[in-house]
Amino acid sequence: MGETRLLLKHANVPGIRHYDAYREHDGYKSVEKAFTMTPEEILEEVKVSGLRGRGGAGFPTGMKWSFLAKPEGVPRHLVVNADESEPGTFKDRYLMEFIPHLLLEGMIVSSYCLGSNASYIYIRGEYAWVAEILEEAITEAKAAGWLGKDIKGSGFDCEIYVQRGGGAYICGEETALLESLEGKRGNPRIKPPFPAVKGAWGRPTVVNNVESIAAVVPIIMMTGAEYAKIGVGRSTGTKLISACGNINKPGVYEIDMTQTVEEFIYSDEFCGGIPNGKKLKACIPGGSSVPILPANLLLTTATGQPRLMNYESLADGGFATGTMMGSGGFIVLDEDQDVVYHTYTLARFYRHESCGQCSPCREGTGWMEKILKRIDEGNGKMSDIDLLWDIQRKIEGNTICPLGDAAAWPVAAAIRHFRDEFEWHVLNPEECLTRNYGLAHY
């Protein structure tokens, strides 16, 4: 079975990036419907839909919205997290670049539900052209009366602002994002208080991923109960997956989360298999922060079932034999890839992106990078492998924000599942630097 397109339904319609074509294809109908409902009724639909945050954490969206504090006379905000920076993840960019009005439509409905009269899209600095596309879409939506004062006679006022980041991965962490939005250095805050209580400018704020907010459109149109019928178990609705690495058809796919991982990799409707008939070695299925799994554990769960492309099945077995859905950045590695080298490149990334506030992350990411570099280059010792293991253990759970965990998990999983490869590097120093990795699209 191929894609189930709710969000990308009209992605291939010529001109869908612009208002006229978007409106002709049911655009802004969910806003019309939402204005016939109360905010409480919309919240109930989102809760019933079972929608889980699509940025990576999978936190129930309806529950997050219900946590929003509503003190008398204090403005509330919706902030869309478009700081998509997780290596391997590019699904939000696709959505914003090709169907920007879908995000705006979802934002208007969500803002109405949450009582946000000023809502923000915080977009990563490198997506400069996408920010321009969004600005243009906002101008079009405003001209058509979907933004501004008393939208379509509803009595609801809403403005949407685009704020560009400066290119720091850490600003995708919601509290760092809020600091940056306020014009400060993007250092994560200690939680609690959660943004739902004390967010942008100290006001109650909901921070949601682009895809989560876009999903509000089909939820309102089809009802939460119908949306919840798609998918399996607590993995309801559809999920965008950005697929890359050693596959024949890299790209963004919208799945209903019932596919097996094997089907997703090998079916022509999705990744189309591995180039040149190479064997599957491993996969990082949810963006670089989630544990890498070798092929045998990737395709089959701890209980011997075919592993499915959804939250529960990917996590089956915990970190011993499972991984995470994460942000849906699906990175495939063929038999020629060197796990030590790729773990080193990820460690280098996390060291570079650490904000430096807490010692285990600031120091630990640097140590991990140095040790991985020397092992990768054939200058490592056997004891370095245990040292690496020890360092990642000391980072995990001991930091202000999840970047520390995100740096530790890939190292832990690589050692857990590919220790022999680390040992090979130590035992074969002269061969380490003559390898040809050639990971296209990575």
Report DSSP state, residue 356.
S
Residue with tokens 């969206």: 61
Nearer to ligand NAI, 134 or 401 (CB): 401
Residue 400 binding result from ligand SF4, ligand NAI, none, given CB thresholds of 5 to 8 Å by partner type: ligand SF4
Q: Spell out, one character per residue from 184 to 223, where the chain touches ligand SF4: x when CB under 6 A holds, - when not.
A: ----x-----------------------------------
Q: Give the helix/strand (H/E) hosting 321.
A: helix 318-321
Nearer to ligand SF4, 66 or 187 (CB): 187
Stretch that binds ligand NAI, among 50-58, 150-158, 412-420, 429-437 (CB under 6 A): 50-58
Q: One-letter amino acid identity for 363?
A: E
Among 85, 110, 236, 354, binds ligand NAI (CB under 6 A): 85
Backbone angles phi, psi at 124, to 5 degrees: -60, 145
Among 2, 26, 67, 202, binds ligand NAI (CB under 6 A): 67
Closest-approach residue to ligand SF4 (CB): 361
Q: Give the number of C-alpha atoms closer than 13 A to the C-alpha of residue 423, restricted to the C-beta side.
A: 6
Among 109, 213, 314, 401, binds ligand SF4 (CB under 6 A): 401
Nearer to ligand NAI, 156 or 253 (CB): 253
Among 42, 46, 50, 86, binds ligand NAI (CB under 6 A): 86
Nearer to ligand SF4, 333 or 395 (CB): 395
How far are the Cα atoms of 152, 157, 220 from residue 35, in angstroms, in the given order? 9, 12, 11
Among 62, 106, 172, 294, binds ligand NAI (CB under 6 A): 172
The least CB distance from residue 379 to ligand NAI, in Å, is 31
Ordered DSSP codes for 141-207: HHHTTSSBSSGGGSS--BEEEEEE--S-GGGGSHHHHHHHHTTS--PPPPSSSPTTTS-GGGS-EEE
Residue 321 binding result from ligand SF4, ligand NAI, none, given CB thresholds of 5 to 8 Å by partner type: none
Residue 86 binding result from ligand SF4, ligand NAI, none, given CB thresholds of 5 to 8 Å by partner type: ligand NAI
167 binds ligand NAI (CB under 6 A): no
301 binds ligand NAI (CB under 6 A): no
Neighbours of 52 (CB within 10 A): 23
The least CB distance from residue 362 to ligand SF4, in Å, is 5
Nearer to ligand SF4, 62 or 188 (CB): 188
Nearer to ligand SF4, 169 or 422 (CB): 169
Residue 174 binding result from ligand SF4, ligand NAI, none, given CB thresholds of 5 to 8 Å by partner type: ligand NAI
* CB 4 within 8 Å of CB 230: yes
Nearer to ligand SF4, 179 or 254 (CB): 179
Q: At what angle do helices 339-353 and 403-427 cross, to 10 degrees?
A: 150
Site for ligand SF4 in 361-390 (CB under 6 A): 361-362
Q: Which two tokens stand for residue 420?
A: 């022999």
Report the alpha-carbon distance of residue 355 to residue 361 in Å, rounded.
9
196 binds ligand NAI (CB under 6 A): yes
The least CB distance from residue 86 to ligand SF4, in Å, is 14
402 binds ligand NAI (CB under 6 A): yes
289 binds ligand NAI (CB under 6 A): yes
Stretch that binds ligand SF4, among 53-61, 196-204, 348-356, 420-428 (CB under 6 A): 348-356
Report the alpha-carbon distance of residue 110 to residue 327 in Å, rounded.
21
168 binds ligand SF4 (CB under 6 A): no
Residues 152, 153, 154, 157: is their CA dihedral positive or negative? Answer: positive
Among 126, 357, 373, 435, binds ligand SF4 (CB under 6 A): 357
* CB 376 within 8 Å of CB 422: no
Q: Which of 110, 104, 109 is nearest to 33 (CA)?
A: 109
* CB 373 within 8 Å of CB 432: no
Q: Which residues of 302-325 are buried (b: 16+ CB within 10 A; e: fewer)?
A: eeeeebbbbbbbbbbbeeebbbbb
399 binds ligand SF4 (CB under 6 A): yes
The least CB distance from residue 170 to ligand NAI, in Å, is 9
* CB 378 within 8 Å of CB 428: yes
Cis upstream peptide for 193 (omega within 30°): yes
Report the alpha-carbon distance of residue 67 to residue 191 in Å, rounded.
14
Query: Residue 14: which residues within 8 A CB-CB, separation 6 or more?
Result: 21
Total of chain residues touching ligand SF4, rule CB under 6 A: 14
77 binds ligand NAI (CB under 6 A): no
Q: Which residues of 235-259 are buried (b: 16+ CB within 10 A; e: fewer)?
A: bbbbbbbbbbbbbeebbbbbbbbbb
Nearer to ligand NAI, 207 or 274 (CB): 207
Ordered DSSP codes for 326-355: TT-EEEEEETT--HHHHHHHHHHHHHHH--
Q: Where on the chain is the footprint of ligand SF4 (CB under 6 A)?
A: 170, 188, 354-358, 361-362, 399-401, 403-404
